[in-house]
Amino acid sequence: MKNLSSLASFCILAGLLLTFSCTNTDQAQSDPNQDQEEWQSLFNGKDLTGWDIKMAGYPVGENFRNTWRVQDSMIRVSYDDYEQFDEAYGHMYYQVPYSYYKIRFDYRFTGEQTPGGATWNVRNSGIMVHSQSAASNEIGQHFPVSIELQLLGGLSNGKERTTGNLCSPGTAVVMGDTINYRHCISSSSETYNGDQWVHAEMIVLGDSTIIHLIEGDTVLQYDQPQIGGGFTNINQTREHWEGFGITKMDDWVAQAGTLLGEGYIALQAESHPIDFKNIELLDLVGCKDPKAKNYKSYFVKADNSKCQY
15 is a domain residue: no
**For range 258-275, the mean pLDDT:** 98
With respect to residue 168, please indicate whether it lies within any of the assigned structural domains.
yes
- The amino acid at 97: P
25 has pLDDT over 60: no
pLDDT of amino acid 32: 72
**pLDDT one-digit tens code per residue, 152-179:** 999 999 999 999 999 999 999 999 999 9
* Residue 244 domain boundaries: 40-289
Spatial separation of the C-alpha atoms in residues 45 and 49, rounded to whole Å:
10
* pLDDT tens, position by position, 183-200: 999 999 999 999 999 999
Res. 34 pLDDT band, cuts 50 70 90:
confident
- Reduced to 3 states (helix: H, G, I; strand: E, B; else coil), residue 302 is strand
Structural domain tally of the chain?
1
DSSP state of 190: P
Any domain includes 262? yes
The yes-or-no verdict on residue 3 having pLDDT over 60 is no
CA–CA dist 166, 126 (Å, integer): 9
In a 3-state reduction of DSSP, which class is residue 305? helix
Measured CA to CA, the distance from residue 256 to residue 98 in angstroms comes to 21
So what's the pLDDT on residue 31? 72
Asked whether residue 34 is assigned to any structural domain, the reply reads no
Three-state secondary structure readout of 191-226: ECCCCCCEEEEEEEECCCEEEEEECCEEEEEEEEEE
- Residues near 143 by Cβ (< 8 Å), separated by ≥ 6? 89, 91, 128, 169, 170, 244, 268
**CA–CA distance, 15 with 105 (Å, rounded to integer):** 20
Report if residue 5 sits inside a domain. Answer: no
Separation CA 290–CA 293 (nearest Å): 8
**Can you give the pLDDT at residue 105?**
98
Longest Cα–Cα distance of the chain, Å, equals 62
**Predicted confidence band of residue 13 (pLDDT cuts 50, 70, 90):** very low
pLDDT in tens, 46-103: 999 999 999 999 999 999 999 999 999 999 999 999 999 999 999 999 999 999 999 9
Please give the Cα distance from 120 to 196 (Å, whole number): 20
Residue 48 lies in a domain: yes
pLDDT of residue 46: 97
**Amino acid type, 175:** M
Across the chain, mean pLDDT equals 92
Residue 8 has pLDDT above 50, yes or no: no
Residue 17 has pLDDT above 70, yes or no: no
- Is residue 264 assigned to a domain? yes
pLDDT band at residue 30 under the 50/70/90 scheme: low
Q: How large a percentage of the chain has pLDDT more than 70?
A: 90
Q: Residue 275: pLDDT above 80?
A: yes
Q: What is the CATH number of the domain that holds 212?
A: 2.60.120.560
Residue 83 belongs to a domain: yes
